[in-house]
Structure 1
Amino acid sequence: MESKTTSYLANLLQSCIHKKAHLAGKLLHAFILRNGLASDTFLANRLIELYSKCSKIDSAYRVFDKIAQKDVYSWNALLGAQCKLGNIQDAYALFVKMPDRNTVSWNTLISALVRSGLEHKALDAYDSMILEGFVPTHFTLASVFSAYSALLDSERGRVCHGLVIKIGLENNMFVSNALLCMYAKCGLIRDASQVFGDMHEPNEVTFTAMMGGLVQTDRAVEALEMFRLMCRKGIRIDSVSLSSTLGACARGVCGEFDQDDPTDVLSSNVHGRQVHGLMIKLGFERDLHSNNSLLDMYAKNGDMDSAEKIFTNLPEVSVVSWNVMIAGYGQKFQIQKAVEYLQRMQCCGFQPDEVTYINTLAACIKSGDIETGRLMFNSMSCPNVSSWTAILSGYAQSGYHNEAIELFREMQFRSVQSDRTTLAIILSSCATMGLLESGKQVHAVSQKASLHTDVYVTSGLICMYSKCGKTEMAKHIFFNTPELDIVCWNSMIVGFSLNSLDMEAFTFFKQMRQKGIFPTQFSYATVLSCCAKLSSSFHGRQVHAQITKGGYVSDVFVGSALIDMYCKCGDVDGARWFFDMMPCKNTVTWNEMIHGYAQNGRGYEAVCLYKDMVSSGEKPDGITFTAVLTACSHSGLVDLGIEIFNSMQLEHGVEQVLDHYTCIIDSLGRAGRFHEAEVLIDKVPYKDDPVLWEVLLSSCRVHANVSLAKRAAEELLRLDPQNSAPYVLLANIYSSSGRWDDVRAVRELMSDKQIIKKPGYSWIDCKNDMQTPMVDDDVRMVSVEVQEVGDGTFC
């Protein structure tokens, strides 16, 4: 009779557990106490489960403490109660005290640790479980694979996969789905596909996990194909499946599809609208999770009108909904709308979270509104490292490098741990401003955070020290970095180039190739620039051969650098041949070729090429006009140069700046048309720039125009008293006219003001090695050195 009563009461308690009926459960508990059944372990375990389900942990403990003969189920019931309430520390302490454990005990603890984000502890517990001889169940393995997914630990995940096969659980749907999720989240799509293909009856969880993995690895088109397959097979579609598919449509614009191609964007939007229609058909139009995914899809596709309509008609909104709208308008550079949504959000009683402020901050930075961005940043009670990085990036991108550095100091005072991106941004600002001491401080911060060997930070450090002229320190960092990538090599090569160590740059480039590092377009462009500065066609042709072999010969960026190299090495015909062979050209390419003709005194061809450029539809810019006007100046095409100069603003909308005026004044001066040059220089808005007067003074020397030379020299001395050029040029003009007293007066003035003429340098290519003798006032010194080498030494 007692057994039937116990069974009956147990069933009633089970019903209360299922319904979370706390009050009815208490009445049953009272009945059990009144009838002397409190010592029944089976009923006591059910009571612990009841109080656990109703979140009454104290009552559960009281029942547990009064059990005379506790079995493993009693301990498991209390352990489950602690785990469900998220009391992980108490649960772990209870687990340690358990006199006996079974598989359920281990499963309960491991799954709770995984849910709490304590994956490492969960895997330690799993290892202990195996060591104690317990065989994992499908529940155990599902939790373990979730831990491996979170940690992206595919190596240990593969080992566990082997155990699954060994104990015969490879066909268990629960385990297979968890395994597939693990491979997908680790980006191992081939392995995930293998698991998917081996499953006899994949369900909605399987397809959703597979789609998630494909989207994560930017394979949006394949993810959409997977969804179509899911529909064809008649698999039940839930809100999670729809959200993943909408995520694929949204990711397509940012990933596989080309944002600049209207066809691709339209295609992605069409897929999204189809899924939207299916969502309504299946009755998910009131599901908040699906609606937020729908909003995100339209926002990322740039279709904010559709997003507005969806948002307005949402039956329920969340902070996520508001955040998506703010991010969408930020992406469209509509900062006012983003801020308006933030204000509306607050008026509707929603409290902005960290994501809200970061989205608004990102919108401000994308729109270039750094002031509003700073207001958003200041609104954050405790900004995280992502927020700091965003505002620092905004200041750096807007050219406010000093403000960025000051804000970084404040970040340090607040003890916010920097990440690799933060350090790279600040190092870039220090490099731009040439702030060596500030850069050293950032270097110290990177060492403290153990990020100084990170390749991202290393390249920033190399760039900073190089731009501050500390190439030896840059080399020290480079050689002490354990793993160097192409960015580090490029930074080092650029550093040498910036400091006029072009042969060292070329040597580093060769070492990079020897170590099996494949150059990028940037590598080739930089080393070609070094060859151009060295005027070494021998080295330039070597690089050209490597470019052809590497498949970059059609790259417009590299092609422009090749043209510049050939032109500066004097092989303008070789440059033109390559120019004509290029499949596509941009403004820079045309400019380099025109400038090459100008440098080599072939003005007529430069003008013809300029006209070809205009005829081709390529829009000339300020640099184009500087090149073609220089060509006209050097080749005596004065009237043609004036004609092109006058057409700049009228026909091409390009404003004339100092360089253009300098070219025309140089052209008039070379032709001896000094009256026109004087008239123009008096109208120039840049008449206080020394370059104009230097050009005019040089022309006066050629034509022995002493009066105008004196005026130009006086203007130069007024603008730049310490510049030796006007003294030397004026002295040369006086000497050529036989005015030796004036020459003596100029030299005495230089001596009184302690102005010294800087020596020049000349390059000689000696058996493919560069010699750089100094050129003094006494040119005979150099000629003597050359004679001492012997005939045939220089080539």
Structure 2
Amino acid sequence: MELKITTHLGNLLQFCIDNKAHIAGKLLHAHILRIGYFTNTFLSNRLIELYSKCGHIDMARQLFDKMPERNIYSWHAILDSYCKANKLDNAHELFVQMPERNTVSWNTMISALVRNGCEEKALDVYHRMNLGGFVPTHFTLASVLSACGGLGDIVCGKQCHCVAAKICLDKNLYVGNALLSMYSKCGCVKDAVVAFGDLAEPNEVSFTAIMGGLAESDRVEEAFSMFTLMHRSGIYIDSVSLSSVLGVCTRGGNGEFCVNSQMDEFLCNVHGQQIQGLTVKLGFESDLHLTNSLLDMYAKYGDMDSAELIFSNLPEVSVVSWNVMIGGYGQKCQTDKAIEYLQRMQLHGFEPDEVTYINMLAACVKSGDLETACQIFYRMECPNLSSWNAIFSGYTQNGNHEEAIKLFSEMQFQNVQPDRTTLAVILSSCAAMGLLEGGKQVHAASIKTLFHNDVYVASGLIGLYSKCNKIEVAICIFDRVPALDIACWNSLMAGLSLNSLDKDAFTFFKQMHGKGMIPTQFSYATVLSCCAKLSSLAQGRQVHAQIVKGGYVNDVFVGSALIDVYSKCAYINGAVQFFYEMPCRNTITWNEMIHGYAQNGCGNEAVCLYKHMIQSGEKPDEITFIAVLTACSHSGLVDAGIRIFNSMQEEYGVEPLLDHYTCIIDSLGRAGRFHELEALLEKMPCKNDSIVWEVVLSSCRVRDNVNLARRAADELVRLDQQNSAPYVLLANMYSSSGRWDDAKEVREMMIEKKIFKDPELHQKCEGMPSENFFRFSISPLRVVASVSNVVPVAMLPSDDPVPLSTALTIQFYYSQCHPFIYYRVEVRMIRAGIAMVCCVLLF
């Protein structure tokens, strides 16, 4: 009779558990207490399960604590309730207190830890389970393999694979799916493909996992082939599988310069449209998750018309849908449309989340609308780290490095911990400003947050110290990075080149290549720049051969650097040949070739290439005009230069800058067309720049135009009253024309204004007694540099001939009354073995 009642009550409790009938369960609990069955362990276990299922964990625990007798199922019931409620601390405490455990106990704890992202703790529990002598089940291995995949721990994953093979579970579908998922997440796609092949009957989970792994390794076509195989094999295709293959579509063809990648992008777009058709055919067009995946695919392709069409026909819209549209328009730099969707989103009652704000920030940053980006950022109550990084990137990209550094300080005060991206961006700002002390503080912050050995941050640190002329520190940081990547090698190589250590940079490039590092486009561009500065044609050709072997010969940036090398090494024919062999060119390529012609005195060729560039549809920029105007100036093509200069703003909307005016002024000055030069000086906007007037003064010296030279000198003096160059040049010009009185006037003016040719030496001498003297030890036949601001009132030894083996000490008396006179000491050989010491007046 008792067994019958227990069975009946147990069935009723099971009905309440299945239907989450909490009230009815409590009534049954009261009935059990009334009839004296509260000591029945079976019924108490069912009650614990009921309260847990209904979310009343405390009541379940109270019941568990009051049970007079507990069995392992009682412990499992309350442990499972804690695990399902994600109360891992309570679960672990209870797990430790369990008088006995079985495989179910271990599995429950491991799966809960994995589910809550505690993969390392899950592996630790698994190792303790093995030490306890428990044999893992397919549930155990599936959870542990998932933890290995999450941690990227391929060693532990392979050990689990061996265990699965040993206990004959490697062919189990559940374990097999976990294996291929683990290998995919760890980047071992070949092993994932093998694991997939070992499955006797792969299901939709298997195909979805292998497609994701192939797509992550950019084997997009193979991922599509897997989906085709899945479809032809009759495997049930659900919305998750379709979302997965749409994710594959978004990863296809992102090439910017290569024709093949554009073809891949086209094929992936076609595949995406086919998947959309299959979605409609299978009746999943109303599945919100799937339609959001479709939206995301079209948005990432930039096909916002198709995205608009899908969005307008959605039966249900979520925050994700709005975010995708905002992000899509942001990627196309259409900030107005992104803001419009944000406003529509709020009008429809949807509150923006973190992703919304990040997408809006990214949209504003990419389009250069930093003002709107700042408004959005400061409107956020508690911006997350991604938001901080987005606004930092905006400041850096717009050259507002000082604001980025100030905001980083504010971030520190708000106790927001930076990540590798934050530190790298701020380091780039410090490097751009040459802010060494600020960079050191960021370096300290990276050490505090344990990111200093991260390759991304280390690369930024190397760049910072290189740009601040601390190349030794940069090398030290490089040597301490435990696992170097190509970015660190590139940063140090660029730093060596920046510090004029081009030979060292080239040697470093060879070391990098010898260590098995595969150079990137940046590596080749940097080392080619070194070859160009060294004017080393032989080394440039060596690198060219490696570029061909490495498959970068069609890259426009590498190609442009090669043209620069050949041009600077006076191998203009090689530069021209390579230029015309390039399959695709951009503005930089054209500019380099035009500049190459200019450097080698081929003005006519430069002008012809400039016209060819226009005819090809490429739009010239400021650098293009500097290159072609330089060519015109150096080759005497004055009229051609004037025509090109006049067309800048009229035809191409390029505002002439200082460098353009300087080129055309130099061209007119070389040709002696001073009337046109003066007319241009009157109307040019950048008159208050010393470079312009220095070019004018130099031209006047060549053509002996004294009047304009005087004006140029006056302008230079007006801009910098302590600059001695215009006085010296003008005085020399008067002297060469025989106008000695004017030259004397200029010298007297220098004395009156206390302008010195070498102000640093004058400052050292100033305040010293007038009778003080200086000694200079020289060796015979060695010309000593100019001795500024010193008048030889007496000179010892005298001008008597002396043997060449004698070391000489020349003694000068300092005099403040003639600070404008310059002398040079020379040793002149008058016959074999005999020299004469002379004092030569310079100016």
Normalised by the size of structure 2, how large is the TM-score? 0.84
The aligned residue for residue 793 of structure 1 is none
- The whole-number CA distance in structure 2 between the counterparts of 1:233 and 1:263 is 29
Shift of 1:425: 0.7
Match of 1:284, SS state, is coil
1:414 is displaced (CA, Å) by 1.0
Equivalent position of 1:561 in the other structure:
561
> Closer, same or farther in 2 for the Cα pair 1:506/1:782, shift >3 Å?
farther
Tell me what 2:530 maps to: 530
Aligned position for 1:84 = 84
In 2 relative to 1, CA 440–540 (structure 1 residues): closer, same or farther, beyond 3 Å? same
Q: In the alignment, is the contact (CA less than 8 A) between 1:60 and 1:78 conserved in 2? A: yes
Give the equivalent residue in structure 1 for 2:500: 500
- In the alignment, which residue of structure 1 is the partner of 2:635? 635
Give the equivalent residue in structure 2 for 1:394.
394
Mark the CA change 1:439 to 1:576 in structure 2 (over 3 Å): closer, same or farther.
same
Give the deviation of 1:587 after TM superposition. 3.6
Matches within 5 A, 1:196-211: 196-211=196-211
Kindly state the Cα deviation for residue 618 of structure 1 after the two structures are TM-superposed. 4.5
Q: Is the 8 A contact 1:268 1:301 kept in 2?
A: no
1:702 aligns with 2:724: no
Q: CA deviation at 1:261?
A: 7.4
- Kept in 2, the 8 Å contact 1:505–1:530? The answer is yes
Cα pair 1:626 1:659 within 8 Å, conserved? yes
* CA distance in 2: counterparts of 1:81 and 1:209, whole angstroms: 30
SS in 1 for 2:700: helix
CA contact (8 A) 1:725 1:757 kept: no
In the TM superposition, what are the counterparts of 1:561-640 in structure 2 within 5 Å?
561-579=561-579, 582=582, 584-614=584-614, 617-640=617-640
Per-residue CA distance 1:39-68 (angstroms, 9 max, x = gap): 222232222222222223343334433433
Aligned to 1:756: 757
CA distance change for structure 1 residues 758 and 663 in 2, over 3 Å: closer, same or farther?
Answer: farther
Range moving further from structure 2, 611-620 or 207-216 = 611-620
Q: Percent identity?
A: 67
Question: Which digits, 9 at most, give the CA deviation of each residue in 1:707-765, with x for residues without a partner?
Answer: 22212211221123333332232122112112233334434544553432699xxxxxx
Between the aligned partners of 2:365 and 2:275, the Cα distance in structure 1 is: 33
1:439 is aligned with what amino acid? G
Q: CA RMSD in A?
A: 3.3
Once the two structures are superposed, residues 218-240 of structure 1 have per-residue CA deviations (whole angstroms, 9 ceiling, x without a partner) of 33333333222222222222222
Instruction: Pick which of 419-428 and 570-579 moved more.
Output: 570-579
Match of 1:369 in 2: 369
Q: Is the 8 A contact 1:258 1:265 kept in 2?
A: no
Q: Deviations over 1:437-465 (max 9, x none)?
A: 21221111112112222221122122222
* In structure 1, C-alpha distance between the alignment counterparts of 2:53 and 2:827, rounded to whole Å: 96
8 Å CA contact retained: 1:119, 1:147 = yes
What CA distance in whole angstroms lies between the structure 1 residues aligned with 2:759 and 2:616? Answer: 45
| Counterpart for residue 146 of structure 2 | 146
What letter matches 1:726 in structure 2? P
Deviations 1:283-333 (A, max 9, x none): 333333223323323332333344344444444333323322322222232
**CA displacement at 1:266 relative to structure 2:** 5.2
Q: Counterparts in 2 of 1:265-664, with a 5 A limit?
A: 265=265, 267-537=267-537, 539-540=539-540, 543-544=543-544, 546-547=546-547, 550=550, 552-579=552-579, 582=582, 584-614=584-614, 617-650=617-650, 653-664=653-664
Deviation for aligned residue 1:588: 3.2
> Once structures 1 and 2 are overlaid, which stretch shifts more, 458-467 or 301-310?
301-310
Q: 1:168 to 1:393 in 2, by over 3 A?
A: same
Classify the secondary structure of the residue corresponding to 2:715.
helix
Deviations 1:495-520 (A, max 9, x none): 23333344443444444445444443
State the match for 1:792 in structure 2: none
Q: Displacement, 1:780? A: 10
1:531–1:539 Cα contact (<8 Å) kept:
yes
Q: How big is each residue's C-alpha offset from its partner over 1:752-792, in whole Å with a ceiling of 9 and x where there is no partner?
A: 53432699xxxxxxxxxxxxx998699997999xx99xxxx
Matches within 5 A, 1:17-56: 17-56=17-56
Question: Per-residue deviation at 1:578?
Answer: 4.6
In the TM superposition, what is the alpha-carbon distance from 1:538 to its structure 2 partner?
5.5
Contact kept in structure 1, 2:462 and 2:475, CA below 8 Å: yes
CA distance in 1, matches of 2:10, 2:527: 82
Whether 1:220 and 2:220 are equivalent positions in the alignment is: yes
Change (3 A) 1:340 1:594: closer
Paired residues of 1:668 and 1:676 also in contact (CA < 8 A): yes
8 Å Cα contact 1:253-1:300 kept in structure 2: no
Whether contact under 8 Å (2:57, 2:81) holds in the other structure is yes
Number of aligned positions between the proteins: 773
Which one-letter code corresponds to 1:480 in the other structure? Answer: R
Cα offset, 1:24, TM superposition = 3.2
The more displaced of 710-719 and 564-573 is 564-573
Hey, what's the Cα distance between the residues in 2 that align with 1:361 and 1:446? 25
Structure 1 window deviating more from structure 2 (497-506 vs 118-127): it is 497-506
- Sort the Cα spacing of 1:608 and 1:56 in 2 relative to 1 into closer, same or farther, 3 A: closer
Report how far residue 576 of structure 1 moved: 4.2
Q: Which residue of 2 aligns with 1:672?
A: 672
**Inter-partner Cα distance in structure 1 for 2:827 and 2:458:** 43
- Judge which range, 423-432 or 18-27, deviates more: 18-27
After superposition, the C-alpha distances for 1:463-517 in whole angstroms (9 at most, x for unaligned) are: 2222223333333323333333332233223223333344443444444445444
Q: CA deviation at 1:583?
A: 5.0
Task: Kindly state the Cα deviation for residue 104 of structure 1 after the two structures are TM-superposed.
Answer: 1.4
Instruction: Give the alignment's TM-score, normalised by structure 1.
Output: 0.89
CA contact (8 A) 1:219 1:256 kept: no
CA distance in 2, matches of 1:180, 1:334: 41
* Greater helix proportion: 1
Aligned partners of 2:672 and 2:703 also within 8 Å? yes
Q: Contact (CA 8 Å) 2:255, 2:261: kept in 1 or not? A: no
Displacement of 1:545 after TM fit? 5.3
Structure 1 residues 367-394: Cα deviation after superposition (integer angstroms, max 9, x where no partner)? 2222222222223332222111111111
| Range that drifts further, 227-236 or 129-138 | 227-236
| More off after superposition, 249-258 vs 359-368 | 249-258
1:137 & 1:256 partners in 2: Cα distance? 49
The answer (yes or no) to whether the contact 2:254–2:262 under 8 Å persists in 1 is no
1:243 is matched with 243
Instruction: Name the SS for the 1:283 alignment partner.
Output: coil
Q: Distance in 2 between matches of 1:299 and 1:531?
A: 43
Q: Tell me, which stretches of 5 or more residues in structure 1 are unaligned?
A: 760-772, 789-795
Kindly state the Cα deviation for residue 418 of structure 1 after the two structures are TM-superposed. 0.9
Please give the secondary structure, in 2, of the residue aligned with 1:252.
Answer: coil
State the 1:421 CA deviation: 1.0
Matched ranges for 1:170-189 at <5 A:
170-189=170-189
Q: CA deviation at 1:272?
A: 3.0
The letter of the residue matching 1:753 is K
Question: What CA deviation, in whole Å up to 9, does each residue of 1:340-366 have, x standing for no partner?
Answer: 333343344433322222122222212
Q: Is 1:478–1:488's contact at 8 Å kept on the other side of the alignment?
A: yes
